[in-house]
């Protein structure tokens, strides 16, 4: 027998249904993400990396018979990520999902299965510890398959990490210091905590900076940035947890910013922590991991696990005394910190920060070097920038962040801006970037910094200004609750 040809003598032609993030997608042992470009729909299923985790769908077919299942997926790892295809709880096929070269390279894999007349549950389940690849969609081909609405427009997310549809954030660390010297906050004549006032006007996230040893000689606490005396080790782990508890109680997201220094890290100031002096590259990488893991473990124990973590601050060319021309040191310090985040909770969102995301700040070459050219690349989920200045009314930010998205497939944010750039910054991230990849922006020390502020200092009282109401307007335009509710 050389071959066999089948000719259809009855029944209609096969039809297909493509299931993405709406009806038919019933569960993900992980999350639905959008941080790698090239997907269809609003995102892709990203299962947690473990044997047994998977994705669930439900379809209805009019008759029992053979059907083809085809998954569109990406596997940016180096090895195959196999899966077990289970129909109505029984295994019917074993699947291979070979590496595709990157998380933005998508291809397809298919299997033939038998479905019963009526509703069928389809589960693709990882059979190895790395988990599955990222699954963009499932296509079912056969006799008139239909997706079943199982609440799949918002598939279950097993993560407790907070990520609103748009981040209206504030970077606030001076609060405890200003309260220490007797300052209070008032909104419409009523004295309230700062975090409550912000939440009442639609803010949903707080960024908190912390330092390795701020009380050490020359450290952050001794530099009198806020006007508070160095009576306490401001911005150390204990103060970070104290402030984070208040943020958590207000049901706002927590964005932790490791400066990886004893004092302020910025574009031109990237000093080595005093305790790390004299260490080798490998020793400093271990110190970075141990420091970050220690802080995170304490925060988890106190019930204030951060939702996002930034390792390093404005790392245009340096971190902790290392230039990125010394790639082993530069990447070792940052990635060791990110490893500590991943080991604490792989769902925590990791962030890398550039201090001048404009062409005149060499932002494009920074993106290429950190996330494309070098080995290893920097292991961040999100890329953010300090958007204080613009050379052409915000077009430079639009160009640069679009370049970042096109090159890396990662979402972007503004980690720092001031109120006088409110419209330009938020319009850029809300309207000028594709596929919801502009996640939001963080107003820097909004009660005490900037040419235009949302508070004015009246004696020892910070009183809200008319600028505050503009943030509630942004929240409402984005469909977010005002006052904020998590």
We report the CATH number of the domain holding residue 128 as 2.60.120.260
Report CA torsion sign: 448, 453, 456, 462: negative
Q: Could you tell me if 187 and 301 lie in one domain?
A: yes
- Residue for token pair 């050219």: 373
Q: Could you tell me if 136 and 171 lie in one domain?
A: no
Tell me the CA distances in angstroms from 343 to 162, 269, 367, one per residue in order.
Answer: 18, 29, 25
At residue 412, what are phi and psi to the nearest 5 degrees?
Answer: -135, 160
* Cross-strand bridge partners of residue 227: none
How many other CB atoms are found less than 10 A from the CB of residue 190? Answer: 9
Tell me the residue ranges of DSSP E strands in 288-406: 308-311, 318-319, 322-323, 349-354, 382-386
Listed in sequence order, the residues at least 6 apart from 248 whose beta carbon sits closer than 8 Å to its beta carbon are 254, 303, 304
Q: Is residue 178 part of a domain?
A: yes
Q: Is residue 131 part of a domain?
A: yes
Q: Is residue 9 part of a domain?
A: no
CA-closest candidate to residue 437, choices 416, 406, 392, 415: 406
Tell me the CA distances in angstroms from 327 to 5, 370, 375, 465, 485, one per residue in order.
Answer: 60, 10, 9, 46, 42
Q: Is residue 323 part of a domain?
A: yes
Instruction: Encode burial over 287-325: b for 16+ CB neighbours within 10 A, e otherwise.
Output: bbbebbbebbeebeebebbbbbbbbbbbbbbbbbbbebe
Q: Could you tell me if 106 and 192 lie in one domain?
A: no
The structure tokens listed for 471 are 């943030």
Residue 349: Cβ-neighbour burial (10 angstroms; 0-12, 13-18, 19+): buried
Q: Which helix (H) or strand (E) holds 240?
A: helix 237-249
Q: How far apart are CA 232 and CA 200, in angstroms?
A: 30
pTM of the model: 0.71
Per the structure, the complete domain to which residue 103 belongs is given by 15-147
Q: Could you tell me if 247 and 288 lie in one domain?
A: yes
Listed in sequence order, the residues at least 6 apart from 249 whose beta carbon sits closer than 8 Å to its beta carbon are 195
How much is the pLDDT for 31? 86
How much is the pLDDT for 156? 40
Q: Is residue 230 part of a domain?
A: yes
How much is the pLDDT for 153? 39
Q: Could you tell me if 143 and 173 lie in one domain?
A: no
Q: Are 371 and 377 a contacting pair, CB within 8 Å? A: yes
Listed in sequence order, the residues at least 6 apart from 137 whose beta carbon sits closer than 8 Å to its beta carbon are 18, 19, 20, 40, 41, 71, 72
**Domain closes at, from 147, 181, 205:** 147
**Number of separate domains in the chain:** 2
First to last CA, the chain: 66
Q: Could you tell me if 48 and 196 lie in one domain?
A: no
Q: Could you tell me if 221 and 131 lie in one domain?
A: no
What is the separation of C-alpha 62 from the centre of its chain, rounded to a whole number of angstroms? Answer: 42
Q: Is residue 5 part of a domain?
A: no
Whether the upstream peptide bond of residue 309 has omega within 30° of 0, thus cis, is no
Q: Is residue 360 part of a domain?
A: yes
Q: Are 384 and 414 a contacting pair, CB within 8 Å? A: yes
Q: Could you tell me if 121 and 214 lie in one domain?
A: no
Q: Could you tell me if 69 and 113 lie in one domain?
A: yes
Q: Are 428 and 401 a contacting pair, CB within 8 Å? A: yes
How much is the pLDDT for 89? 84
Q: Could you tell me if 26 and 173 lie in one domain?
A: no
Q: How far apart are CA 274 and CA 218, in angstroms?
A: 9
Whether the upstream peptide bond of residue 52 has omega within 30° of 0, thus cis, is no
Q: Which helix (H) or strand (E) holds 337?
A: helix 327-344
The one-digit pLDDT tens for each residue of the chain (486 residues) are: 888 877 666 556 788 888 887 778 988 998 888 888 888 877 899 998 888 889 999 999 988 999 999 999 999 888 899 999 999 888 889 999 999 988 889 999 999 999 999 899 999 999 888 889 999 999 999 988 888 877 543 444 446 899 999 999 999 999 999 999 999 999 999 999 999 999 999 999 999 999 999 999 999 999 989 999 999 999 999 999 999 999 999 999 999 999 999 999 999 999 999 999 999 999 999 999 999 999 999 999 999 999 999 999 999 999 999 999 999 999 999 999 999 999 999 999 999 999 999 999 999 999 999 999 999 999 999 999 999 999 999 999 999 999 999 999 999 999 999 999 999 999 999 999 998 899 999 999 999 998 899 999 999 999 999 999 999 999 999 999 999 988
**Domain closes at, from 147, 177, 212:** 147
**Domain closes at, from 147, 180, 202:** 147
We report the CATH number of the domain holding residue 201 as 3.20.20.80
Q: Could you tell me if 465 and 324 lie in one domain?
A: yes
| DSSP helix/strand/coil, 32 | strand
Q: Could you tell me if 289 and 382 lie in one domain?
A: yes
Q: Is residue 153 part of a domain?
A: no
Q: Are 240 and 287 a contacting pair, CB within 8 Å? A: no
């Amino acid at each position: 027998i050389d071959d066999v040809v089948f000719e259809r003598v009855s029944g209609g032609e096969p039809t297909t249904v493509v299931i993405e993030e709406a009806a038919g997608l019933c569960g993900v042992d992980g999350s639905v993400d959008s941080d790698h470009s090239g997907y269809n729909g609003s995102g892709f299923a990203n299962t947690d990396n473990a044997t047994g985790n998977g994705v669930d769908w439900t379809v209805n077919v009019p008759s029992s018979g053979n059907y083809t299942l085809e998954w569109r997926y990406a596997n940016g790892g180096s090895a195959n990520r196999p899966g077990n295809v289970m129909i109505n709880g029984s295994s019917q096929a074993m699947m291979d999902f070979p590496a595709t070269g990157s998380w933005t390279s998508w291809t397809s894999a298919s299997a033939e299965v038998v479905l019963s007349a009526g509703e069928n549950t389809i589960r693709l389940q990882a059979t190895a510890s790395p988990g599955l690849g990222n699954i963009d969609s499932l296509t079912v081909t056969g006799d008139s398959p239909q997706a079943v609405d199982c609440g799949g427009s918002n598939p279950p997310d097993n993560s407790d990490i907070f990520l609103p549809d748009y981040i209206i954030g504030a970077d606030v660390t001076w609060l405890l210091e200003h309260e220490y010297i007797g300052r209070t906050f008032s909104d419409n004549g009523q004295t309230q905590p700062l975090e409550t006032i912000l939440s009442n006007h639609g803010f949903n996230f707080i960024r908190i900076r912390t330092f390795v040893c701020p009380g050490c000689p020359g450290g952050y606490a001794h530099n009198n940035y806020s006007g508070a005396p160095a009576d306490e080790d401001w911005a150390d782990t204990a103060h970070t947890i104290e402030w984070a508890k208040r943020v958590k109680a207000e049901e706002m997201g927590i964005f932790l910013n490791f400066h990886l220094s004893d004092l302020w890290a910025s574009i031109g100031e990237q000093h080595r922590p005093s305790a790390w002096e004299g260490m080798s590259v490998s020793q400093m990488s271990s110190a970075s991991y141990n420091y970050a893991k220690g802080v995170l473990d304490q925060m988890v124990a106190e019930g204030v696990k951060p939702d996002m973590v930034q390792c390093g601050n404005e790392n245009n060319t340096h971190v902790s005394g290392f230039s990125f021309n010394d790639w082993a040191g530069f990447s070792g310090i940052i990635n060791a910190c990110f490893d500590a985040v991943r080991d604490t909770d792989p769902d925590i969102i990791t962030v890398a920060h550039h201090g001048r995301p404009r062409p005149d700040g060499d932002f494009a070459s920074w993106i290429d070097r950190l996330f494309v050219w070098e080995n290893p690349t920097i292991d961040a989920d999100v890329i953010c920038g300090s958007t204080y200045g613009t050379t052409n009314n915000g077009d430079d930010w639009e160009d640069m962040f679009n370049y970042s998205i096109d090159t890396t497939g990662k979402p972007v944010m503004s980690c720092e801006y001031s109120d006088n750039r409110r419209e330009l910054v938020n319009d850029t991230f809300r309207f000028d970037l594709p596929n919801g990849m502009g996640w939001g922006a963080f107003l820097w020390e909004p009660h005490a910094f900037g040419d235009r502020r949302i508070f004015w200092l009246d004696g020892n009282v910070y009183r809200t200004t008319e600028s505050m109401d503009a943030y509630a307007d942004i929240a409402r335009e984005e469909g977010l609750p005002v006052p904020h509710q998590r």
